[in-house]
Chain A
Amino acid sequence: MSTNRLTACIAQLSPRLGDVEANLASHLEAIGEAAAQDARLVVFPELSLTGYRLRDLTYEVALRRDDPVLAQLAKETRSGPDIIAGFVEESDDHRFYNAAAYFSAGRVVHWHRKVYLPTYGLFEEGRFFACGADFRAFDTGLGRVGILICEDVWHLSSAYAYFLQSVDWLAVISSGPGRGLPEEGKEPASGKAWNSLLIALATFFNCGVLYCNRVGWEDGVKFWGGSKAIDPFGEIRAEAGQVDPELCFVDLDPADLRLARINTPIRRDERPDLLKRLLDEMGQ
C-alpha cells in the first residue's frame, strides 16, 4: 500500500458527441488545471473522449490502442498526474469495446473493457459493443486500483472481484442518465440508487471510491453528474453538482484504509472459498 496521499481531480465533463478532437482538448485543459492544483490523478467519465449515445458513431470514433490520441494522454502523464479516461477501443479483430485506460509515467498501465453492457430501457450498448472479460486490479504509485465502468457497478461480483484482489481505490466512471425526479431527495431516482451503491461498495470493501459521472444532454437524455469521492468508511468527502461541468478535488489519506480495516477487518475475515465451493457445486 502506498503511503502517498491521494489528491485526485474528478473531471465531471460534458463530452461532445462523436467529436474526439474537441473532447481531447477539454481533457488537456482539465489535466492542466488539475496539475496546477497538484492533483496526482485525474478521473474522466465513461466514454469521455467520445460521448455516450454513439450508436453508429461507435465505429467512427473507435481508437486502436496505438492511436495518437491515447499517446497524447500518455505523454501528459510523463510529468503530470495519472489519468483515467474512457473511449471506444477497437481490437485487432475489430471488436468494439466500451473501454477505459489508466495512464501513468508516459504509458498505459492498465486497460479495462466494460464487462456488463446495459441493453434495456434507454440503453443499447449490447447492440454496438463487445463485452470485456475480466476485472483485474493493478498497482499504481497511488495504491492498488480497480476500474469499473457504470453498469459494472450494478453487478456486485464486479467490485467483489476487486475486493478479493485487495484494491485500495475503486475508480468508477459512468455516463449515468438521470431518470425519475421523486419529490423527496436531492437527486434523480437513478442518482439516489447510485449513491447507495457507491457508499455500500466503500463500506463493504473498505476501500475508497472515486466516482466520475458526466453531465450534459444528448437528445434529451440528461446525465446527472453528482460525481463524488467516498472514503473507506463510506463517508462522502467531496461531491460535484448535477448540472454543470466541474473539476471536483479531493484529498484522500491512505492511512484511512488502515484504520477502516482495523475497525472492520472484512477482507481478513472474508471466506471466498465458501463461494468457490458453491460455484463449483453449481457447475459455474
Chain B
Amino acid sequence: MSLLSLNRQLAVDFLVDFVREETRKFGFEKVVVGLSGGIDSALSAAIATRALGSAGVVPVAMPHADSDPASLTDGQLVADQLGLTLRTIDITEATAALARALATDDRVGLGNVKARVRMTVLFEVSRQESALVLGTSNKTELLLGYGTLFGDMASALNPIGDLYKMQVFALAEEMALSARVREKAPSADLWSGQTDEGELGFSYAEVDEILVRMIDRRATNDALVADGFQLDLVERVRSRVRGAQYKRCPPILAKVGLRTLGTDFLYQRDWGR
C-alpha cells in the first residue's frame, strides 16, 4: 500500500469540520474561493460547501483573455455541481495595466502579476462579502514552491495544504467531483499549453512518493535511492523544498526588543477563539 493512501472518509470529515470551525469561530459564515476549473480549487470548494452550505461559499472565476476557455467552463461545472452561483471577474484589463506600468513582458513575470491580481480580487470580495479567503494550495506545491508568493498562496485558511496532490485526487474522487475536472492535466494556466508536470519536469505520482518519504518519514537521499528513486531527481526535489522555504514563512523581523513577533511573542492565531 502506498504511503500516500489515507482514510478518505475520515479525512473528508475532518477537513469539513476544520473549515466549519475555523470559519465560524472568527465570526464568519462564508468563505470565498477562486475556482480555476482545476482539481485543487474544486476540492477546497467542495469541502467548504459541505461545511458551510452553498450559501456559505462564494466562488469566483477570474479568467484572462489568454486563459484556456476550458478553465472557465470547468469552473462553472464545479460551481453547478456544488449548487453555487459563480461570480466572474475578468482580470485581463487589470493585468494589462500593471504589466504596462511595470514593463513586464516575460511569461513568468506576467504569470506572477496575474496570480497577484487574482489575490487582490479575492481579498476584495472577502471584504465585500464578509467571507474568509479559502486556500487552494496543496502540500506538494507548497513544498516545491510551485506557487506565487502573495498570489495563489495567499489565504486565510486552507483545508488542503497538508494533502499531497495524489491525496487531492483521492479525496476529489471520494467527494464525487466531476471526472472531467479530476482527469484533466493539472495546470496553473498562466500561459498557453502550460502544465504543472511539464514545467516541473516530473510527475506528481512520482514526486509525491518521494516527498511523503522525505518529509513525513524523514528519509535520507540514500534511503530514497535504496527505495528505487533516481538520485538526481531526489536531489532536485530536496533542493526545491529547501529553496522554497522562504515562501512558507512570514517575513523575518530584526530582533531589537525583548519580545519579538513570531520569535518570543508566541500566540496562536486562534488566541481567544
Contacts and interface: CB of A to CB of B under 8 A. Distances in A.
Q: Which secondary structure dominates where chain B touches chain A?
A: loop
Q: From A183, A216, A222, A242, name the one whose CB has the most chain B CB atoms within 10 angstroms.
A: A183
A18 B271 contact: yes
A218 to B, nearest CB: 5
A17 to B, nearest CB: 5
Interface residues of B, number: 25
B14 to A, nearest CB: 6
Given A16-B272, A218-B270, A219-B270, A243 B14 contact: yes
B15 to A, nearest CB: 9
Nearest to B157: A220
Given A183-B1, A183-B7, A186-B10, A17 B17 contact: no
Given A17-B268, A17-B271, A181-B11, A222 B6 contact: no
Contacts of A181: 6-7, 10-11, 14
A218 B13 contact: no
Contacts of A217: 17-18, 21-22, 270
B72 to A, nearest CB: 32
Contacts, number: 66
Contacts of A222: 14, 17-18
A64 interface: no
A178 interface: yes
Contact of B7 (A17, A185, A220): A185
A57 B267 contact: yes
Interface of A, helix, strand, loop or mixed by DSSP: loop
A183 B21 contact: no
A18 B18 contact: no
Contact of A17 (B1, B11, B18, B273): B273
A186 B14 CA distance: 12
B7 A182 contact: yes
A218 B26 CA distance: 12
Given A17-B271, A181-B10, 18 more contacts: A17-B270, A18-B271, A18-B272, A19-B272, A56-B267, A181-B7, A182-B5, A183-B6, A183-B8, A217-B21, A217-B22, A217-B270, A218-B270, A219-B268, A220-B18, A220-B162, A222-B17, A242-B13
Q: Would you list the 4 A-B pairs with minimal beta carbon distance, nearest first?
A: A55-B266, A183-B5, A181-B6, A219-B268
